[in-house]
C-alpha cells in the first residue's frame, strides 16, 4: 500500500535524524495522538474547529450557488461579481485574517475565512455548470411551461452534480486549511489552531504531527460524507 510505504519512509527518516524535536516518527506521533484523544480539551478543540469550519463551508457554498445562479441569469450580476471573486481568489488568506481580527476579533475567525475561501471555488464551478446546461432542454421546459422548481430539479441539478463533486472536494480541503491557518494566527482558545500553535511553542513535534493527522482525518471524513450525499442526490434525480 502506498500509505504504508510512506509511513515506513517517515520512520526511516526519523531514525536517521534521531532528534524528536526536528522529526518525530510515526510511532511517537501515534502515541501522542492517543494521549491527546484521552483529553477533554482535545475533543472540545476538534468540535469547536469542526463546527466553525463547516459553518463557514455551508455559508460559502450557499452564497456561491445563489450568486452563480444570479450571475447566470443576469449579465450585470456576473460583471459586478467578477472583481470580488478575483479578489477573494488572489489576496492571501493572512491578509484577510489580520483584517478580520482587527474588525471582529478571533472567536469566529475561522467561520469567515472558510466562507471567503469556499465562495469563489463554488461560484466559479457552479457558474460553469449553469453555462453548460443544454439550452434545448430549457427551451422545451419553457415551451411546456414547466414550473421553475421542476426545471431546477430535473434539468439544472443533474447538470450541476458533476461540478459540485469536483468543487466540493477542493472546497472542503481548502476550508480546513484556511480555517485552521486562521486559528493559528488568531489564537481562539480550545481550537485545533491553538493546539498547533502550542505544540510549536513547546517544540512538541510529535504533538504537532498528531494535530495535523487529526485535521487530515476529519477533512477526509467530511469530504467522503459530502460526496456520498451528492451521490445519493444524483441517484434520486436520475
The pLDDT, as a whole number, for residue 118 is 95
Model's pTM, two decimal places? 0.88
Phi, then psi, of 134 in degrees rounded to 5: -65, 115
Q: Which pLDDT score, from 0 to 100, does residue 238 have? A: 42
pLDDT tens for each residue of 219-231: 999 999 998 888 8
As a whole number, the mean pLDDT across the chain is 88
Task: Specify the 3-state DSSP secondary structure of 38.
Answer: coil
Q: In the chain, what percentage of residues exceed pLDDT 90?
A: 50
**Mean pLDDT of the 77-104 span:** 90
- Name, in order, each residue with C-beta under 8 angstroms of 221's C-beta and a sequence gap of 6 or more: none
CB 122 within 8 A of CB 60: yes
- The Cα-based distances of 200 to 77, 78, 194 in angstroms read 45, 44, 10
| 153-193 pLDDT per residue, tens | 778 888 888 899 889 999 999 999 999 999 999 888 889 99
Separation CA 9–CA 4 (nearest Å): 9
Amino acid at each position: 500500500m502506498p500509505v504504508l510505504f510512506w509511513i515506513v519512509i517517515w520512520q526511516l527518516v526519523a531514525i536517521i535524524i534521531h532528534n524528536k524535536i526536528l522529526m518525530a516518527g510515526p510511532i511517537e506521533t501515534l502515541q501522542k495522538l492517543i494521549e491527546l484523544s484521552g483529553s477533554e480539551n482535545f475533543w472540545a478543540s476538534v468540535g469547536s474547529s469542526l463546527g466553525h469550519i463547516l459553518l463557514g463551508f455551508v455559508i460559502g457554498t450557499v452564497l456561491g450557488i445563489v450568486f452563480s445562479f444570479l450571475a447566470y441569469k443576469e449579465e450585470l450580476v456576473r460583471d459586478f461579481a467578477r472583481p470580488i471573486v478575483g479578489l477573494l481568489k488572489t489576496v492571501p488568506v493572512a491578509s484577510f485574517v489580520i483584517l478580520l481580527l482587527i474588525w471582529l476579533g478571533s472567536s469566529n475567525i475561522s467561520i469567515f475565512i472558510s466562507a471567503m475561501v469556499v465562495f469563489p471555488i463554488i461560484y466559479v464551478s457552479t457558474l460553469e455548470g449553469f453555462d453548460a446546461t443544454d439550452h434545448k432542454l430549457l427551451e422545451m421546459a419553457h415551451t411546456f411551461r414547466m414550473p421553475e422548481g421542476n426545471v431546477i430539479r430535473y434539468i439544472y441539478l443533474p447538470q450541476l452534480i458533476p461540478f459540485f463533486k469536483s468543487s466540493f472536494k477542493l472546497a472542503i480541503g481548502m476550508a480546513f486549511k484556511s480555517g485552521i491557518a486562521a486559528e493559528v494566527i488568531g489564537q481562539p482558545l480550545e481550537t485545533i489552531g491553538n493546539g498547533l500553535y502550542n505544540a510549536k511553542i513547546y517544540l512538541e513535534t510529535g504533538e504537532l504531527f498528531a494535530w495535523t493527522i487529526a485535521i487530515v482525518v476529519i477533512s477526509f471524513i467530511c469530504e467522503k460524507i459530502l460526496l456520498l450525499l451528492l451521490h445519493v442526490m444524483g441517484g434520486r434525480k436520475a
